[in-house]
Amino acid sequence: MSSGRIEPDEYRVKPGTKVDLNRWSTSATDGFDGDKQQGAALLPSLNEQLADLQAMLYAESKHKMLIILQGMDTSGKDGTIKHVFRTINPVGVKVKDFKRPNDIELAHDYLWRVHEHAPRNGRIVIFNRSHYEDVLVVRVNDLVPKNVWERRFEHIRGFEKMLVDEGTTIVKLFLHISKDEQRARLQERLDNPAKHWKFEHGDIAERAHWDAYTDAYEQAIAETSTKSAPWYVIPSDRKWYRNLVISQLLIDKLESLNMTYPEPAIGIENIVIDG
């Protein structure tokens, strides 16, 4: 049985590591022995801890956090946002999802549409997909030549280093699911009328590129997992465990900022609000 403490650092990709995603578990439940009920029971407590830390981040307004969610189709990006951030004050959190670029965005450099959504002090921004699409989708679908997408790894490392140097904590999460789990989740979208809206015919076409996307992710993660902005490969076949690992990781990151609430206004202790 688990002590109730998740160790997210187990899932961190060390800089310079060659990444073979087949060696990273998609179904780990370390310490919980697959006990969904026991594990899921911990999430409300983690939700509250995360909410308290986010409130302090917002109040202090000295730090900022960027969370990057990437993964295969159905890996749980939307579900992560829904369950991990369920108690967060939406005033201090923004979700930005990156769809296919429009004509104006295509007329600029590929990072142009991304930078404006980076967080300001006191805020958390969640990228649901991100600038990494420009070394993933474009590679798998041959939208740009290899020499173009390959040089982007250096751009991305530089872009993220600049954000970190300017005070942003970057948390990059690859939601790692198995091909069998993806098949089951796609089938559920077909079988459950309430989930029909989630299904697109393009999902089947993209699934056919599973191996190509795996290769693309392995290189992208290896090339851009740095000391200041590492990747975490999160086992995501079991949604409840995915939520626990990510919640604990974000709590650890926020606690490491050693935040405090601002000092109250001078003389506030003597103020009495008249009836």
Sequence-distant (6+) residues with CB within 8 A of 140 are 209, 212, 213, 216
Q: What is the pLDDT of residues 263-274, one digit of tens each?
A: 887 777 778 887
Closest residue by Cα to residue 70 from 224, 195, 187:
224
Q: What is the pLDDT of residues 37-82, one digit of tens each?
A: 888 889 999 999 999 999 999 999 999 999 999 999 999 999 999 9
pLDDT at site 37: 83
* Residue the block writes with tokens 């690992």: 245
Taking CA atoms, 236 is separated from 76, 89, 132, 144, 229, in Å, by 7, 25, 19, 30, 21
Secondary structure of residue 238 in the 3-state scheme: coil
Positions in the chain whose pLDDT score sits under 50:
1-2
Q: Which domains does the chain have, with CATH numbers?
A: 8-256 (3.40.50.300)
Identity of residue 209: H
Identity of residue 245: V
pLDDT at site 112: 97
List for the chain the helix, strand, coil content (%; round to 5).
50, 10, 35
User: Tokens in use for 192?
Assistant: 């459950």
pLDDT at site 1: 37
